Amino acid sequence: MAQSHVEIKVEREILFEDTLTVNSIEYTKFERTPRLFAKGEFTDGLVDFDVNVEAYPIDIQDRLNVAIYNNVSPSGSVLSDFYDHDPRILGTSIMDEYEYVCHGKVYKRVGPKDGKEGQITIWISFGGLLMKIRCSNSHVKGLDCDNYCYLLIRKE
């Protein structure tokens, strides 16, 4: 039986971007995936997120360039599905510019919609590693419930 193959043309968009300074790290639940608490330099956003520090060590006061994209493939390329990022097929990717990458899904959003100003809180799950972003609505776009996204991190 042949599998159906869906092709989607998606332009790459930045949904959130900031330089975060890690203020504290909490190891209370898991030894290798602590919760990091950070503040944004440009958005004044408060971001709490889990990182596998065995794979990507992070310390207090580290400065992290964090970006959330809707797509990591070259702009305008055709994706067959969300996991099709083989460089032999797609060529270079925005992922090549970062050190830590996760694929996830927005599962909760509280705050104004339709471009209205105000504080917003967004929760994203990256395969069980969680992220919570609290910032002005003007600093995020396209992070609506059930939307998929990519978290990309590199140290400054």
Per-residue pLDDT of the chain (156 residues; tens, 9 = 90+): 555 555 555 678 899 999 999 999 999 888 889 999 999 999 989 999 999 999 999 999 999 999 999 988 776 565 545 455 566 666 678 888 999 999 999 999 998 876 678 999 999 999 999 999 999 998 998 899 999 999 999 999
Instruction: Burial-class residue 102 by CB neighbours within 10 Å (0-12, 13-18, 19+).
Output: buried
DSSP character at residue 37: E
Q: Which fold has domain 8-155?
A: OB fold (Dihydrolipoamide Acetyltransferase, E2P) (2.40.50)
- How many CB atoms lie under 10 A from the CB of residue 76? 10
H-state helical runs in 92-155: none
pTM value surpassing 0.75: yes
Q: Give every CB contact of residue 25 below 8 A, 6+ residues apart in sequence.
A: 34, 35, 36, 37, 58, 59, 60
Residue 6, Cβ density class (10 Å: 0-12 exposed, 13-18 middle, ≥19 buried): exposed
